[in-house]
Amino acid sequence: MSSSKYSRTDLAVEMFDPDADKLPKGIKRRIRKSSVCEITEIIVTDDSAGMKIGKPKGRYITIETDRLSAHPEDFAEQSQNIANELNELIPDKRHILVAGIGNESITPDALGPKTAQRVIATRHIAGDNVGAELAELDLNMVSVLSTGVMGQTGIESSELVRAVCEKIKPTCVIAIDALACMDISRLGTTIQLSDSGISPGAGVQNRRKELSLETLGIPVIAVGVPTVVDMHSIVHSITGAPPDKHLPNMMVTPRDIDKMIDRSAHLLAFAINRAAQPQLSDEDILSLM
């Protein structure tokens, strides 16, 4: 069963009834568990199947865990699970461009820039006396960019990322953005990774130009956490009935959104650093973040 027409969601896992045994042709689902999370992988194998659910062809990995704002004791294992999934999605680590998408001034949209702030940039280290010790570790090159939003810059995020890619020639892009979901329980408890790229703002009906292999010419890995759900989706999920079209819709975010964004950004950045720089110990990564 596909998601309701009343729902706005960026999550592939919400496009189907979780109890359904059979999925549409061209779509596969795999579920696996670790000691701290459940991982659901949705694989869209062809474009026609993707069109039916509004998702491009590719892999969509959903990691469901404890509430991220709670900062649980199993942080290390959570981040390792995310890093492991990233390792499967990143085809070439020689030079990764990490792009934080979103508006840092609006808390529910600040996940991208706040994560980017904590990713360890290494492209400048080679030949730099300050980074001589790190240079000896033969680290992968990582560049970091926070794009802002068009309302602040007058420039599409995709245009900024494409311009930077043309200049520095990364081998892949990791784009981090806040997501929308339709199930309240997924707010701040779910992480989605995908190799199909990203269309910023799609879940809140403000779709911008996409970042993808087709638009950039290199693989784009999308990473996000749901931070908002719209009121019509809440009404529909609770009552099963269509919301009153005369009632205004609005986006709802958790009460502890500040804490959730801060800790989600820390978790994602730590996982990205782990995946990008396997030569570094956890202690080294924390000291450099």
Domain edges within the chain: 12-288
Q: Which residue has the higher pLDDT, 231 or 70?
A: 231
Residue whose C-alpha is closest to residue 289's, from 68, 116, 41: 116
pLDDT band, residue 132 (cuts 50/70/90): low
| Phi, then psi, of 68 in degrees rounded to 5 | -70, -25
pLDDT band, residue 71 (cuts 50/70/90): low
What is the rounded distance in angstroms from the CA atom of residue 115 to the CA atom of residue 143?
Answer: 13
- Is the pLDDT confidence value at 106 over 90? yes
Overall average pLDDT of the 267-286 stretch: 93
| Phi, then psi, of 129 in degrees rounded to 5 | -60, -30
Element (H, E) at 52: helix 47-53
Overall average pLDDT of the 224-252 stretch: 83
pLDDT tens-digit readout, 111-127: 999 999 999 999 987 54
Q: What separation in angstroms does the CA of 236 have from each of 5, 13, 69?
A: 10, 18, 26
3-class secondary structure, 208:
coil
Return the pLDDT at 18.
Answer: 61
**Inter-helix orientation angle 257-276/75-89, to 10°:** 50
Question: Could you tell me the fold of the domain covering 12-288?
Answer: Rossmann fold (3.40.50)
| Phi, then psi, of 245 in degrees rounded to 5 | -65, -15
Return the pLDDT at 225.
Answer: 96
